[in-house]
Amino acid sequence: MTYCIKPGCLTPENLDSAHFCQTCGERLRLKERYRPLRPLGSGGFGRTFLAVDEDIPSQPHCVIKQLYLENFDPDTFPKAKELFQQEAIRLNELGKHPQIPTLLAHFEENQQFYLIQDFIPGLTLSEELNQQGHYNEEQIWELLRELLPLIRYIHSHRVLHRDIKPANIIRRQDDRKLVLIDFGVAKLLTDTALLQTGTIIGSPEYMAPEQLKGKAFWASDLYSVGVTCLYLLTQVSPFDLYDTFNETWVWRDFLPPGTQISDRLLKILDQLTHSRLKQRYQSADQVITDLTPATSPPVGTHFINLRQPKTRKTKQNNLTSEVGIDYRQLKQLLATHKWQKADEETWIILGQACGKFPGYYLKLDDIQELPCEDLHTLDQLWVKYSKNHFGLTVQRRIYQEVEADYPRLCDRVGWSIHNPRVPDRAYRFNLKAPVGHLPSRRWVGGYYDWWRHAEVMADKLEQCGL
Question: Which class for 217: exposed (0-12), middle (13-18), buried (19 or more C-beta within 10 A)?
Answer: middle
Rg of the Cα atoms in the chain: 24
Q: How far apart are CA 385 and CA 327, in angstroms?
A: 14
Instruction: Return the exposure string of 373-386: e unless at least 16 CB atoms fall within 10 Å of the residue's CB, then b.
Output: bbbbbbbbbbbebb
For residue 106, the cross-strand partners are 115
Name the amino acid, one letter, at 453.
Answer: H
Name the amino acid, one letter, at 239.
Answer: F
Residue ranges in 19-97 assigned as alpha helix (H): 77-94
Q: How far apart are CA 187 and CA 86, in angstroms?
A: 12
Is 163 catalytic? The answer is yes
Do 284 and 145 form a contact (C-beta atoms < 8 A)? no
| Cα–Cα nearest to 358, from 156, 182, 142, 70 | 156
Q: What's the distance, Cα to Cα, between the start and end of the chain in Å?
A: 60
Instruction: Return the exposure string of 61-71: e unless at least 16 CB atoms fall within 10 Å of the residue's CB, then b.
Output: ebbbbbbbbee
Q: How far apart are CA 310 and CA 354, in angstroms?
A: 9
Do 174 and 187 form a contact (C-beta atoms < 8 A)? no
Q: How far apart are CA 88 and CA 163, in angstroms?
A: 18
Query: Reduced to 3 states, what is the DSSP secondary structure of residue 220?
Result: helix
Q: How far apart are CA 454 and CA 396, in angstroms?
A: 7
Cα angle: 437, vertex 443, 445; to 5 degrees: 120
Q: Of 53, 55, 75, 163, which residue is the catalytic one?
A: 163
CB-based contacts of 243: which residues, under 8 Å, 6+ apart? 249, 250
For residue 41, the cross-strand partners are 48
Question: Which class for 100: exposed (0-12), middle (13-18), buried (19 or more C-beta within 10 A)?
Answer: buried
DSSP string over 294-340? SSSPPTT-----TTS-S---EEETTEEESS----HHHHHHHHTT-HH
Residues annotated as catalytic are 163
